[in-house]
Amino acid sequence: MAKALMIGAVLALSGCATALPTVQVTRFHLNQPIAPGAVRVEPFVADDSMEFQTYASAVQGELTRLGFPAAGADGGQYAAVIHVTRDTREAMARRSPVSVGIGGGGGSYGGGVGVGVGITLGGRPKGSVVTELRVQLKRRAGGDVVWEGRAQLDARENAPAAQPGIAAGKLAAGLFRDFPGESGRTITVK
């Protein structure tokens, strides 16, 4: 009896482990060092909602961990411009499946341009919420994009990972894992 309960518990836990959604991450940069400096997290489109603040806090936490502390009144050396999209899998599939990321820059490290193309195909079960976090790290002086990334999480509507608080932390952690990451490559983060 005890052995059967233990096997049942192991199977239940393994089912939970496979049910945790993964994050798909793609990043682009100029393959040059990015000097740490103070950064201010800003919305792509004016947004002061609590939901935006949840994502902004998660991004700032990851940037601080990487040596990019929150900027003071001067605005710092960088702006981290973030854009969050949440929608159903079905609505995302109706949009154009091709996205293009382009980064260019100059400054003390030289110049360069990186281009990437991503294709998103449908096929996830109905009732999924897709949350996408995009971040561009720009130099304040000149506005050059030195790094940009996209992280996407697909979770069932009623799953904890579909909630903004959990999704924000998981997306930001995945996006900044092994920063700056390999440019143009999509990885899966558990």
| Per-residue model confidence (pLDDT) at position 92 | 67
Q: How confident is the model at residue 162 (pLDDT cuts 50, 70, 90)?
A: confident
How far is it, in rounded angstroms, from Cα 139 to Cα 78?
5
The whole-number pLDDT of residue 106 equals: 42
Task: Report the distance separating Cα 79 and Cα 56, nearest Å.
Answer: 12
Residue 91 has pLDDT above 80, yes or no: no
Mean pLDDT of 136-163: 94
Question: What are 42-71's pLDDT values in tens digits?
Answer: 999 988 899 999 999 999 999 999 999 999
Domains of the chain: 21-189 (3.30.160)
Is residue 118 over pLDDT 90? no
Q: Distance between CA 168 and CA 165 in Å, rounded?
A: 5
Q: Record the pTM.
A: 0.73
